[in-house]
């Protein structure tokens, strides 16, 4: 039913403001595309094999410009696939490459990145973010018809100093007392999921009641209607993102039969790392320095420390992160903030990613310093839980092997 509610959202390039923004046409121009007969000839396979390569994420495809019933296929992906096949890579090399942005290692029906677009169960995440709350997107990801607002009492307030500490404490307490997920009925898991998302909102904000997550955050942060809507959109856009480190950690925990709360705790703990959920903190530090002095001085300081420019580029988006493009377009940052973002893009040769957008949102709305992490963790709760439920349904234990390099 949700499929009929949302139209595809087209992004336009805003050349004048210097803020990263990318659309599907840019991605298509960046890539070379060939028709099906040519792809079959190059690969030397039957059509059904080509379709299997596409479904497994080996080869990207898109609708044909002149015939929407036909498809075009990425020449770059085909050439890469053929090189691997000709090289006859050893199993160990394939496994090693898969650890870091390599070939897909498991199947999921939840999220993918396709032709530069983030897809939630077949729907464009940007289109969903136009109207949906995090709770509605959670219901979409969990495949339930009901918005996840539980009827059980609100959890007891947690008095830790920071929102991050309160969230981790809430999840740890839930994980210690919740029943394991092995063999439980899917409807019971979804009841647990609703309790977790609702409880996370209460733990972070201290606000009780059935209000949506973004409204509770907006009340604590004293935002007006526009600010609250920007937070709502951000929560939706970070709700899931394929098999990222924190989601993989959540799935590993779920594969053991651990409670949903333990899976969410594993995901949240992984998110605290500076190379994942805390990447926005580095972007926020850069933007603050750029506004206090100048972008040039801030970038020079980063270079003098031997560090990379934060929050630019993304391996899954060769033409730019659409989440960042959308958030920055909706935010309309002032001239100084635009200049700082543009300087980072020009110095790195890459476009701003969602971590930069969350940092910019924090400054523009005068949010507390931990706001990027709290937005990321709050939104991603929906995705961690979705992946944990999916992993429980598979009944498979995730247990990879390691290559021994000792004596």
Each residue's pLDDT tens digit, 291-309? 999 999 999 999 999 999 9
Q: Once rounded to an integer, what is the mean pLDDT over residues 98-114?
A: 79
334 is annotated as an active-site residue: no
d(CA 103, CA 92): 13
pLDDT of 14 reads 39
pLDDT of 3 reads 34
- For 99-108, 146-155, 381-390, which range has the lowest pLDDT when averaged over its residues? 146-155
Most confident of 16-30, 101-115, 243-257: 243-257
Catalytic site residue from 77, 355, 370, 392 = 355
Residues 350-361: pLDDT tens digits?
999 999 999 999
pLDDT of 293 reads 97
Q: How confident is the model at residue 90 (pLDDT cuts 50, 70, 90)?
A: low
* Beta strands 61-63 and 111-114, pairing class: unpaired
pLDDT of 104 reads 67
d(CA 386, CA 142): 5
pLDDT of 96 reads 61
- For 27-31, 231-235, 248-252, 295-299, which range has the lowest pLDDT when averaged over its residues? 27-31
Catalytic site residue from 198, 241, 314, 392 = 314
Residues 205-216: pLDDT tens digits?
999 888 999 999
pLDDT of 274 reads 86
pLDDT at 7 over 60: no
pLDDT of 76 reads 87
In the 3-class helix/strand/coil scheme, how is the chain assigned residue by residue? CHHHHCCCCCCCCCCCCCCCCCCHHHHHHHCCEEEHHHHHHHHCCCHHHHHHHHHCCCCCEEECCCCCCCEEEEHHHHHHHHHHHHHCCCHHHHHHHHCCCCCCCCCCCCEEEECCEEEECCEEHHHHHCCCCHHHHHHHHHCCCCCCCCCCCCCCCCCCCCHHHHHHHHHHHHHHHCCCCCCCCHHHHHHHHHHHHHHHHHHHHCCCCCCCHHHHHHHHCCCCHHHHHHHHHHHHHCCCCCCCHHHHHHHHHHHCCCCHHHHHHHHHHHHCCCCCCCHHHHHHHHHHHHHHCCHHHHHHHHHHCCCCCCCECCCCCCCCCHHHHHHHHHHCCCHHHHHHHHHHHHHHCCCECHHHHHHHHHHHCCCCCCHHHHHHHHHHHHHHHHHHHHHHHHCCCCCCCCCCCCC
Q: Once rounded to an integer, what is the mean pLDDT over residues 329-348?
A: 97
- For 73-77, 92-96, 389-393, which range has the lowest pLDDT when averaged over its residues? 92-96
- For 74-83, 112-121, 227-236, 318-327, which range has the lowest pLDDT when averaged over its residues? 74-83
pLDDT of 85 reads 75
pLDDT of 12 reads 35
Q: How confident is the model at residue 100 (pLDDT cuts 50, 70, 90)?
A: low
241 is annotated as an active-site residue: no
Q: Which residue has the higher pLDDT, 96 or 253?
A: 253
Q: Once rounded to an integer, what is the mean pLDDT over residues 83-99?
A: 64
Average pLDDT, the chain: 87
Q: Once rounded to an integer, what is the mean pLDDT over residues 190-196?
A: 93
pLDDT at 331 over 60: yes
Q: In what order do the strands lie in the sheet with 111-114?
A: 111-114, 117-120, 123-124
pLDDT of 31 reads 63
Residues 9-59: pLDDT tens digits?
333 333 334 444 444 444 445 568 999 999 999 999 888 888 888 877 789
């Amino acid at each position: 039913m949700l499929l009929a509610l949302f139209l595809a959202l087209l992004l336009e390039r805003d050349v004048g403001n210097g803020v990263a923004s990318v659309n599907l046409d840019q991605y298509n121009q960046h890539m070379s595309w060939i028709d099906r007969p040519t792809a079959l000839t190059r690969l030397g396979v039957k059509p059904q094999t080509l379709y299997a390569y596409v479904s497994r994420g080996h080869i990207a495809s898109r609708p044909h410009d002149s015939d929407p019933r036909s498809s075009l296929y990425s020449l770059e992906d085909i050439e890469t696939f053929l090189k691997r096949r000709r090289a006859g890579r050893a199993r160990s090399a394939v496994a090693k490459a898969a650890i870091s942005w390599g070939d897909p290692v498991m199947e999921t029906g939840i999220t993918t990145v396709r032709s530069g677009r983030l897809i939630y169960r077949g729907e464009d995440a940007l289109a969903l973010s136009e109207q949906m709350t995090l709770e509605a997107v959670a219901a979409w990801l969990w495949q339930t018809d009901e918005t996840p607002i539980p009827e059980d009492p609100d959890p007891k307030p947690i008095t830790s100093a920071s929102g991050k500490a309160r969230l981790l404490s809430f999840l740890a307490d839930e994980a210690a007392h919740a029943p394991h997920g092995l063999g439980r009925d899917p409807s019971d898991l979804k009841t647990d999921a609703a309790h977790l998302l609702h409880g996370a909102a209460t733990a972070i904000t201290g606000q009780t009641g059935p209000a949506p997550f973004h409204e509770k955050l907006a009340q604590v942060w004293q935002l007006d209607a526009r600010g609250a809507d920007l937070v709502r959109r951000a929560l939706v856009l970070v709700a899931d993102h394929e098999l990222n480190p924190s989601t993989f950690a959540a799935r590993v925990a779920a594969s053991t039969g651990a409670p949903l709360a333990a899976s969410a705790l594993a995901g949240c703990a992984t998110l605290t790392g500076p190379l994942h959920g805390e990447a926005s903190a580095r972007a926020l530090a850069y933007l603050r320095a750029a506004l206090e002095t100048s972008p040039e001085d801030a970038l020079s300081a980063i270079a003098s420390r031997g560090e990379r420019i934060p929050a630019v580029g993304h391996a899954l988006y060769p033409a730019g992160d659409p989440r960042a493009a959308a958030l920055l377009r909706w935010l309309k940052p002032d001239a100084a903030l635009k200049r700082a973002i543009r300087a980072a893009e020009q110095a790195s040769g890459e476009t701003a990613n969602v971590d930069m957008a969350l940092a910019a949102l924090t400054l523009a709305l005068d949010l507390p310093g931990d706001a990027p992490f709290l937005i990321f963790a709050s939104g991603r709760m929906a995705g961690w839980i979705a992946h944990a439920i999916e992993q429980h349904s598979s009944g498979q234990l995730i247990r990879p092997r390691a290559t021994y390099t000792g004596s």
